Amino acid sequence: MKPSKPSELVIEALPVRKGALILRAINHGLRQEILRFIHSKGSITVTPIYVSLKLEQAVASQHLAILRNAGFVKAERQGKFIFYSVDYKRLEQVHAKAKELLGIQRKENGVVPVD
């Protein structure tokens, strides 16, 4: 049975735009590398990130800001330093929503498409 056609087409641009920014934040090779690096260290300041990944400090800070704004990274000030850590709950939420959009469910032994 076909779903009924609504009388008016509603496209909520703001939530779609914000959702796209969140997905773009994680869908970037360097930002994924930064997340993996933070994960491997647990909690870390920007200095070891840019030194280890051979980045300019401004580039590392810019990508951290994007990750922080999307909620993938938590920042905690300790004195004059800011320590970054991965927000695993947020990462799982975004993974779950992306899978939902793609029509994918998790099964114990793998991933299966949803009809």
pLDDT tens digits for 14-47? 988 999 999 999 999 999 999 999 999 999 999 9
pLDDT at 56: 96
Listed in order, strand segments (DSSP E) in the chain are: 73-78, 81-86, 104-107, 110-113
pLDDT at 96: 92
pLDDT at 110: 58
Kindly tell me the burial class for residue 15, based on how many C-beta atoms sit within 10 Å of its own C-beta (0-12, 13-18, 19 or more).
Answer: exposed
CATH of the domain spanning 16-87, picked from 1.20.1070.10, 3.30.70.20, 1.10.10.10, 1.20.1090.10: 1.10.10.10
80 φ, ψ (degrees, to nearest 5): -90, 0
pLDDT at 106: 60
What is the mean pLDDT of the segment spanning 65-79? Answer: 96
What is the mean pLDDT of the segment spanning 72-85? Answer: 96
Q: Are 49 and 33 in contact (CB under 8 A)?
A: no
pLDDT at 115: 46
